[in-house]
Chain A
Amino acid sequence: MAKKEETIHDVLARAEKLFHRGNFPLALREFEKLQTELNRDDIAEKIGICRRQADALKVKELIKRGRRADQKGSAQEALRCFEQAYEMGKEQWLGDRIGALRRQMAVQGADAAAAEAESAGDFARAADLYGRAAGAGVANRARCLVKAGRFSEAVDAYKDMDTIDSSGRYHYGFALAQTGRYRQCLQVWEPLETYNDSFFEQKKIICLRYAADLYERMEKECAYAEIYKEVIPLLETTDSVMDARWGQSLLNLREYCRYAAIGSLWDQEAFSAVTDLLDPSPVPMSWTLICLNAKAWFRRAEKDPAFLDPLLVYWLTAVYAADMTPVGSGEGKTADAAAVREKRVETVENLIRVHMDTEPGRKAAAYYKIEKELIWNLSQLADGRAQGTTPRICGPRYAARFGMASEMADLVRANRASFKTTAQYLETGGYYSLAGESLSLLCGREYENAVALLAELPPGARADEFVDYAVNRVHFEFAMHCLDTGDSRFSRYLDAAPVIFDLAPDSEKAFTDKVLAIDDWETLKPYEDALTHIHRKRPSDAVRSALSLVMTRRAIDLYNQDQLTLAALKGITGKALMIYPENEMARGTLNDTLKDLETDAIFKAFDRGKLNKASRMARESEYPEVRDSFFEFVEQSLPLLEKSDLSGDEKAVYLSDLYACASSLGTHHRVLDKLSMMLNLSKKEGAG
């Protein structure tokens, strides 16, 4: 069958159908065919729509292909697609993407060229090419700048980098060194291991160059304080690379700058900066430096009592060391050394006095008093010792801080015979012992701290007699402090008291006098307990006497307040008398108590009508007062008898018994006459 010929209407219908289905490329072809024949405006409009839509589809397709190529790393193909799409769509983002792709391709090209130049040793060109590259190009550029000898540019490049690897660190330091920045070079190189000999040598050269540079700056600029601060870290860095000679040279430079800086700060009266520079001090310390510390802290303590503490570390040591120097200058050289020393000691006393209304002032006063005595004692021992560059003698706190404690303790030990008492010998040595700081704390009444510090003593430290004494002293003082403040912990530390009392009877007397001065029985209780404890370990006359007295006084107080029976009072006073038979108070109280007890017993027997028993007790009593009491009871009973309902005979019998009992105690008492008279009357009444 022959194909039916298409009419123009059929073509139009198909074109419309394709158009409405969105198949714009085919619709466009049909509409263009029709337009050549029909030349209609509506068809022209649709042709325009179809062309635009077909272009949009093509752009979409090109973008898709471009992205796919980009993902596969084919920048060239991606660029071609995006460029075609941009040509058709002119979209802004496509323009940006095309720019980025072009730059990326240029970088890749430059990177490759740079790497090639670097391999060929053309570092300057490589650096320039890396400059155009992105990412790792920055580090590569900096490295190539170093290799090209463009050190300043290299330093700038490294300075801006956030992270840096070991290679970069080395090259950065190298560039810094080559631009004269030795300190920064060593800082940058600090984390690098110096296992490589060549690198070790380079570091050594830079250290030497830096040291030479510092010397030059010191001579030209006199910037002592700055150079001092710079030498400190340099010494740490150079410790492993510099030989001993140049290491010492740097040490000397550091110390020279330090003291030169102190000199100018002193002239400016910047004493705070001076003391800052004095720390840390070399050990052992020369006497010149001790004097410098002493006077610098003095100047600070003039303004603030808090600095009395460091002042006292140095002052007396400085004063006693200064006798090695000419005393005064100019015409002052004629001054008497002892008088000058005395004046210098007094100068700090005056300063402390100014601050006596403050806690540091009070503590300083207490400590200074003790140290004055200690160092005076030592100065007497050390008179024959050879002079050296360091002080012959020093205060305990100076000794502890600067390693002279054992030397001072040995000096004390070697001169034991020079001390008047064992206590003085042990106390002096104790301040220079491992427990010396605790003893010093006692001066400021820092009892808790003093005891706490003893816990830090090494095991076996108490084998040393000075340490042992110091520990006992601290324990004793702490126990006394606890007693004074009502702290029950005193009992834990009382074992030290007998030791201290043995060594220092003055302490014992002071303690017993203090206890005996207490008049409040409640306050007295812990002291009585303390004395009882001490008495068990050390029943000395003073302790026995004090304990006996305290027991008696407290018992009387309690009895007077009805808190103790007569029998208990008798028991306590009896014990007190046994502890110290010379206690007259206890003896008297015991006698009175016994009399009272016997009188009570007689009264009770009398009251129960046991006249024979009462008279026997009175007769056997060694106290006349007790017998007198018996007669008093008899006399007091007579008026009652008279008023009683008893018959005359009964009264006569009772009176007769009473007379017999009373007369067994003696025949001359007036009560007997009265009894006799009443007996006769009763007999007459009975007869009547």
Chain B
Amino acid sequence: MNPFKILDVDAGASQKDIIQAVARAMREKIYPGRELAMAQQLLLDPVTRATQEFLHVLDLKLLLDTLPLERPPAIGQDDRLPLICLDVFDGEE
């Protein structure tokens, strides 16, 4: 089970956010009460919460930040390339 998904909270949610999310989820009745209780328990305990974050939350920012993107220059204008048609292959099989 993914407690973040069940309670519809993100990784940075505070304890207050979590408790409010549980109340909201109970009203919405999308998930059974037992699952909501378990999700709440998992997220309120710092140790289990850290493990749940490790399992379910994907933060790729660190990874993407290590990849500087440098766009190559777009050669030519109006989608026409400044190329001359060569005849170097003419006569080859």
Contact = CB atoms under 8 A, between A and B. Distances in A.
Interface string B59-80: 0101110111111111110011
Contacts of A146: 85
Contact of A344 (B51, B72, B79, B85): B51
B93 interface: yes
B28 interface: no
B2 to A, nearest CB: 8
B55 interface: yes
Interface residues of A, number: 63
Interface of A: 146-147, 165-167, 169-171, 174, 177-178, 180, 192, 196, 198-199, 202, 205-206, 208-209, 211-213, 215-216, 245-246, 249, 252-253, 255-256, 259-260, 262-263, 266-267, 286, 288-289, 291-292, 295, 298-299, 322, 327-336, 339-340, 343-344, 347
A198 B85 CA distance: 10
Contact of B79 (A171, A180, A266, A328): A180
Residues of A contacting B: mostly: helix
Contacts of B30: none
A330 B85 contact: no
- Which 8 pairs show the lowest CB-CB distances between chains A and B? A335-B46, A328-B50, A166-B92, A215-B71, A166-B89, A332-B49, A170-B89, A212-B74
B93 A215 contact: no
A35 B8 CA distance: 118
Interface residues of B, number: 46
A257 to B, nearest CB: 10
B89 A167 contact: yes
A208 B75 contact: yes
Given A198-B84, A259-B64, A328-B53, 7 more contacts: A166-B92, A196-B88, A205-B76, A253-B69, A267-B58, A288-B60, A295-B55
A252 B71 contact: no
A211 B72 contact: yes
* Most chain A beta-carbon contacts within 10 A, residue among B46, B50, B73: B50
A205 B82 CA distance: 9
Nearest to B54: A344
A249 B49 contact: no
Contacts of A289: 63
Given A178-B83, A328-B50, A170 B12 contact: no
21 contacts: A146-B85, A167-B87, A167-B89, A170-B88, A177-B81, A198-B86, A202-B86, A205-B76, A208-B75, A211-B71, A212-B72, A215-B72, A216-B71, A252-B70, A259-B63, A298-B55, A330-B11, A330-B13, A336-B46, A340-B47, A347-B55
